[in-house]
Structures are given as C-alpha cells and as structure tokens.
Structure 1
C-alpha cells in the first residue's frame, strides 16, 4: 500500500480517540486530524480545486499542518510547500513565483507584510486556525484544476524547495512513486496486520525541508505516534526521549554537538539505541565521541530533496560490523538504490577512485533505469561503502586555479580554537572568485586571531588556496536544516569589507 492509499485509509478508519500527534505537551487525536483534513478538503472542493490541483501550504511544525499535508496528498492533490522561515518579503515573492490557486496558512503567516496580498493576487487564501479550523479570508480560486493530472502514471505529490545552502532555493517535484520508494528504501513499512502502532517517533526538523517532511510522512505511513517539535531545543528533546522511551531519534551534526556540549547525563538517553544523522556530513570524530559517551550508535545517511530522502546510509547491523574500519563513510546504498562514480567523461572509474557520484533508483524523477549525476565527489570502496569527498560544484576558480573548499576547511579546523569552518567563493572582478572563510569558536577555547588562521593556511595550502578573508564568529550562519549557509556567509564577508572601505 502506497502513501496515498495509506493516508486515505488512516483518515477514514483510524479510531477517533487514538493519539496521533503530541505538540507542546498536548495530544491531537486521529479525530482531530480527520476533522481538520475534512475541513480543508471541503473548502478545496467548494472552490472547484479537485484531484491534480496544486495547493500551497505555508508549512509550520504544528499538528494542524500535518493534517493538511495528509489531506492534500490523500486526495490526489499536489502539496506546494512554502517556507514560513523566510523573511516576509521572500515568502511573498515565493508565493507569487509558485502561482498556486490557493494557499493555506496560519493567521500569523498571513498577517506578515505583503503575504496575504501575494496570495489573493493569484487565488484563494485559507486561514488555518491552531484549533484545526479552516476559513476563507480573501481572494478567489479558479474553478479549473491546475497542475499535474491524476491520469499520469505517477503524478506529482509534492513540490518543495531545496535547502539553498549554495544559492537561491529551487523547487523540486516529488512524485507519488518517489515517496513510496523512499519510504520503502528507508524501512518505513507499516505492519500488515495493524493500522496504528504504539511506538512513537520524534520530528524536530522543519517540515518544509525533506528531513522533517520525510520524518512526518514516515510516522503517518507506519501509523506511529508523532512527537512534533517546532524546532530542536535541547531540554524538550531530551524530555521527549525520556518520556516516550524512544529507541531511535534523529539529530543533525550541530544538534549532536549540542547534546555533547551540554553533558546530558547518559541515563536520560538510556532508551536510545541509535541516532540517525543527515542533512549535512557528520564528522567521524563527532559520531565516535557520541558513541563513547552514550553507547548510542550514530547512523549517518546520504540523500537529497531530489531523491525524496536518503539513498545511502548506515544501519545498526552495518555499524556493529564495520564502524571501526569504515568510520567517516556515508554508509552503503539502500535497497533499490545503485551507486557508481564517474569521471569527467562520464565513464565509470575503477573501484576506489574518486569522481562524481551517480545514483540510479525509483526515488529520482527520472526513474529506476536512468543514472542521475549528483554534485558530490565521492569514491566507493571494495566493500560497497561510499565516501563523500566534497561537492563538484563547490570548486572555486581563482585566476584559473581550482580551490576545493573542503581542503581549506580541513586545515582551518586543525586549529584548537576552531570548532567548525566554512569556505565559499566570493566573486572577484580580477580573478573570477576568491575563497573566503568563517570559523566558529570552540567553546571553552580562546578565540583564534585572524592572523594566526591565515598563517596556518599559508603553512599547509598553496598560495591560491589561502582565504582572502577570514571571519571569526561565535556561530556560523545556518539554514533552518542546520547546514552552513554559504549565502549568508558571503553576506557577512561583504558587510565586513564594506565597513573597512573608506567612504
């Protein structure tokens, strides 16, 4: 049973009193979820927006938004995710570009400058109350349905944005078939003999990013109860693990560091067997430190929005057998996924050699018979483990010389006062681009001097690899999914340069 049929059955048959979503200490039952789903479906039907219609949702980490997500996908419509994490002007511009006939959003989102006007300029605005009620607040939707047709072999279920770490986010179309394969590859399969499960899963990453949305869909698909947090906050997260005796949870690398730095007592996390870590590469030493302190195995995953989730990663059994020999690897290809590494000419390189990673799976829009070239540089060893070595499109061309940001990053991170470094290319009229860097200070250490960091780079890098500018920050700028935002890093560098430039 695929995700669409599964959601339809849950909304129809799940016991009304059964616990569905815990949020801020209170439970939404399946009766609450069903009522909200029915309310928005009735509004869309009344507006003539049936199966195949595109429905914009300013998607927040709240139970009513999960209910809307379930309703849109189950009814054969296409969910167009709109990020509430954007500044108001960017959200309004995103709505205008998306050109959806209807947008569902909370009252706070619709009240932001320019947002309601952007919605009503194109279609109907529906306000979603925190109690799950849905009401029309302006605009008018066209009668004709828009978007992917229901008669297609695998219609688009979700249009969502990538994380935008290297530039403006782009909108990706995810089909029903991709979602089904992604859930199956990740082992998120419901028990054939039961509709709901007593187990629970914690979702603390934004629903507008693939990690959070996939986590929510996995809960719904398997019938697990969902513990939904607005965002990762240490004490509520630890409290949820304790309260529900969770055996598995997810933490991005930055959150793993937060748990370690806070010195959370091991007994509070005693129920956990594994922690999955995605969205950004997890350093092997960080995963090792977490394992040594808590005895909890950190299972890294590799994926992308375009793949509807992860396509490779570690499992518990793999970790038990291979971790000491393969620490730092992204794991092996998941079931239904084939990986290979190719050179600049597109030909597959010999085993163990570096090149550009390609993926073949039903999780891609191109389907199971087509190789999709990623932007990641990698190698695959004799045991099938994939090692990510940077991004092909991260290369900075400085006056004809190629600079790999990860090479510069690794040197900066050898300084004892640096917790994490990030490197990006700043456009330059003479050289094309120059590398610039920012470092995050290691807690408890003295902040490094810029001169010392530059000297360190000069000692270990070629002259053209040395950053033209280095910033020392308390915290690196990050996207909502906790990846370092190179866009914001460059903005910080430009701001500092502007301050130094005489008027």
Structure 2
C-alpha cells in the first residue's frame, strides 16, 4: 500500500519502523496473553493481503467496526503503518444502526469482528459494493465475508483522503457518536500529549489502554506502539480487570474517567493493590471535589485534572513537575497550562471578544499542527493571571427554562452534596410552556434511605435560583453510561415520565 507524501510519510514510516522493531518481543497483551510484534504485524499483513485480493485500492479508506480486541488493535496498527485511512464505526449500537453507518460511509471495504457481520450489515455492504473482511482470534484469523469477497468496482466509493490517518468517534454523551478526522501529522502531538514526550525502556510498565479504540482511546494504543512500549489492553473497563492490570504490570500512571474513581472507591479496592500508582489523570468530564478528596485521602495517590478533546487529537493543557512544585496546592482545581503548541483564550459567547484574566467565557484554542485558526469549544472556562485554566461546565449543556439558563453541572453538584446521593445527572426535558425544564436522575448511596423529591428540591432551592430546581426526580441503581463511561444524556432524558 502506498504511503502518503511529505511530512505525513515521515510519521507513517516512523510508526511502521517502531511496529516492526518489536519482532519476537511482547507487543500487546490481550485477554491474559502477550502477542509478539511479529504476530501483530502478521495479522495486519493478512488483512492487507485480503483487501488486495478483493480489489480494494491501496489508498482507499476502509471502515472498521471497532472493538477493544487484539485483532482490531492489529488492524489499526497495520493501517496506520501502511498510510491507509481508517474510519471507525461504533460497534455498541444495533445491527441496523451499524448497517446505516456502512451505507452512509460508502467505503470500498469494511473490516469487522465475525460477530458483527450480521445479515443487516452484510446486506448494507453488499448494496454499496464494499468488500468485507471478518477478523477473529480463531483459525483462520482473517477471512473474506461470503457475498463480499470482492469489491464491486462499478460502484463509486469514498475517495482517498491523503494525510488523514483516522476518523475517530466522539464519546456520544449527547447523542450518537460523530466522526472527527485526524491528520497523520497531527498524531505526533497526540503521542506527545499522551506521554508528555516520555520514552521508556523495555523494562518499564506497559502503556495501559482500556479507553475505547473507536474514539480518543486509540491514542493510547498508537502512542505506546510509536514509542516502542509494550501495551496492555482491556476490552472493556471493569474494576476487577483494571486493578488486576495495575497490580500485575506495576502501572505507575493512568488516565481515568471520573466514574472510574468513584467505582474504585465503591469497590473498596485495597490500598496495596494500587501501590504502584504515582498519580492518576482525571479527564473526560468533571470530577467533583468530594470524590477526589476521598480518593486521595484513602489511597494517598494524587489526582491531576486534565483537559482535551477528540477534535484536538489529545490534550490542550498539562501539569509539569515544575508547575506542581510551585502551584500544585494553590491551583489544585485547574487542568494546568496550555501545551507548548497551543494558545488558549476566553471569549464572550455573544460578542466573541476576549475576556480578562479570571473571567468566565467560552474557551477557544489555536493548536499549531491543526492550523492558524482559533477553534471555539463549548466549554465554559477561565484562565487566571498565571495562565492556569479552570473548567466550569459546558455551554451546550445549558437548559433554557423560559429564558433562564440552568447549568446542569451546578445542579448536580448540589444534589451530590446530599449524604444519601452517590451520583446524579441533570438534563433538560421538553415543556409546552417553558420550552425546557430540568429533570434529575440520582443514584442512592447503598444502604441509605432514598431522599424525597421535596427534600432534594429544598436542597437545590437553598443553593441556587428557583428556576434551577428540577421539576422531577427518578432513582436508578446506576446512571446509564456508554462504553466511554460517560453518562448518556438521551438515556437519562428517556427516564422522564417513565415511572
């Protein structure tokens, strides 16, 4: 398969060289077994060979119905090493929804686990003339899908996209995941933002990859392989699996979603099981101070807050050891300062004018590898006089209650201050008179009495304006979460009036 030209070719070749350098050494651990570099490379080569036999052009983008499994990791590595664009297709949806994605993407080929080649998906690929490749850990591990052995060359498929390495998925908090194109040369900043430029020797703990590969979690896999580190991966997060990996591999640092920190506390994981951890990095959503304080007090493991986004292919801010020494205690709630290739500013949502230090507004970023333009986020933030960024919620999550703006995170913070509430989520639901009104779902602390609606309303009314008080509450055993461990806002909204 041909490589893309220019700067892109350099990174592609460096990644390919790093991948081949493992040879017969351990490369990726999955499901209790280490796979060597030779095995990973051979898997990718088998996929490439089958695509060639199927008549798929070497520069044609392909789709991957992605899961956190060894064959999928090998496919991603092989595509990146060959300079072929890969578009991620969300596997945690119905067969009909996957089939819809296959038709909309109109790709020359689709690669998927054998279990995901359901009849609706096969039929969709057949209609678009795509070749189909089934991957598994069985024998043979790579096979053509019946009826999809050859690409139908009479179909006009999606064209080549030189310089685009990946089309990854957003986390899908507010709706179906969307795809974000990541240029190959931008992956250099991805590697840096994941590892802070750190290169470790062969005896170092492996890169720990458990976030879903369909989204920003793939960066952990790519960074580990690019830097020649072993990679330990989990198919899906579980407390037992995560703690087992930390113990066995003596992991020293890990990025976690806020929900993971709460789960570790609730599971009462013994402190000695996490003894190797020097710190955790909390990202992908707000971490309430009470949970952070409880975790740090119990385990004596500091938590650093981080901030990034899919569209930036990694982090925008970071804490360095020097910053921690000088500001770690006084600016504990900050996500750090902008990375060297990044400029940040706070602007007024209405006028676009830059706001003074310390004032809140929308965060905008200008990231060198992405180009010269300022990119506006939907995050409300402030930047102090020392350049430290603090997040204050999302502008697109605001509930417009008859012209009054309600910030769901502010209401959630009040609700979880109740001793009987373990977690909560607040969403806007339709109202014929006011347009939207806030509704809350709560998890109750195990063994505690469920607070009454009146009790919770009174609590919110004491702290926030009356228009912020939810109109109704529902109690759930666990808030509905997607594979990225983020609460699904549509799923919470669907609970309104369901009792």
* 8 A Cα contact 1:50 1:77, kept in partner: no
Residue 405 of structure 1 is matched in structure 2 by 408
- Pick from 438, 441, 445 the counterpart of residue 438 of structure 1: 441
Q: CA deviation at 1:381?
A: 0.8
Match of 2:364 in 1: 358
Q: Is 1:467 equivalent to 2:477 in the alignment?
A: no
Unpaired stretches in structure 1, ≥5 consecutive residues: 497-503
Q: What is the CA–CA distance in structure 2 between the aligned matches of 1:252 and 1:402, rounded to whole Å?
A: 27
Displacement after TM superposition at 1:38 (Å): 0.5
Q: Does 1:179 align with 2:182?
A: no
Q: What's 1:117 paired with?
A: 123
Q: How does 1:1-80 map to 2 (within 5 A)?
A: 3-15=11-23, 17-80=24-87
Evaluate the alpha carbon distance shift between residue 337 and residue 450 of structure 1 in structure 2; reply closer, same or farther with a 3 A threshold.
same
- Which runs of no fewer than 5 residues in structure 2 stay unpaired? 1-8
CA distance in 2 between counterparts of 1:190 and 1:407 reads 37
The reply on whether 1:328 has 2:328 as its aligned counterpart is no
Equivalent positions of 1:39-438 (< 5 A) are: 39-111=46-118, 114-122=120-128, 123-131=130-138, 133-137=141-145, 138-139=147-148, 140-143=150-153, 146-150=158-162, 155-187=163-195, 189=197, 191=199, 198-210=204-216, 212-343=217-348, 344-362=350-368, 364=370, 367=371, 369-438=372-441
Which range moves more in the overlay, 128-137 or 24-33?
Answer: 128-137
Deviation (angstroms), 1:427: 2.1
Aligned to 1:501: none
Relative to 1, partners in 2 of residues 1:322 and 1:51: Cα closer, same or farther, differing over 3 Å? farther
CA positional deviation for 1:184: 2.3
CA distance in 1, matches of 2:104, 2:91: 15
Tell me whether 266-275 or 348-357 shows the greater mean CA deviation.
266-275
Structure 1 472/216 Cα, relative in aligned 2: closer, same or farther at 3 Å?
Answer: same
Q: Which residue of 2 aligns with 1:499?
A: none
Rounded Cα–Cα distance in structure 2 between residues aligned with 1:69 and 1:447: 46
State how far apart, in whole Å, the 2-side matches of 1:145 and 1:88 are. Answer: 22
Find out whether 1:495 has 2:498 as its counterpart: yes
Q: Could you tell me how far 1:219 is from its partner in structure 2?
A: 0.9
Cα distance in 2 for residues equivalent to 1:254 and 1:326: 23
**CA offsets, 1:270-324, max 9 Å, x none?**
2111212211122233233222222222122111111112111334543444232
Aligned residues: 484
CA distance in 2, matches of 1:174, 1:470: 40
Deviations 1:176-234 (A, max 9, x none): 12212222234454759x8x665412112211121x21111111111111111111222
CA contact (8 A) 2:52 2:58 kept: no
Task: Please give the TM-score of this superposition, normalised by the length of structure 2.
Answer: 0.91
What TM-score, normalized to structure 1? 0.91
Contact 1:49 1:145 in 2 (8 A): no
Conserved 8 A contact 2:19-2:228:
no
CA contact (8 A) 2:317 2:338 kept: yes
Question: For residue 5 of structure 2, what is the aligned residue in structure 1?
Answer: none
Q: 2:199 and 2:411 mapped to 1: Cα distance? A: 48
Partner of 1:476: 479
Could you say if the C-alpha distance between residues 2 and 292 of structure 1 is closer, same or farther in structure 2, counting changes exceeding 3 Å?
Answer: farther
Q: Which range moved further: 1-10 or 334-343?
A: 1-10
- The answer to whether the Cα contact below 8 Å between 2:20 and 2:38 also exists between their aligned partners in 1 is no
> What secondary structure does 1:492 align onto?
coil
Kept in 2: contact 1:58–1:109 (CA 8 A): yes
* Closer/same/farther in 2, CA of residues 478 and 313 from structure 1, 3 Å limit: farther
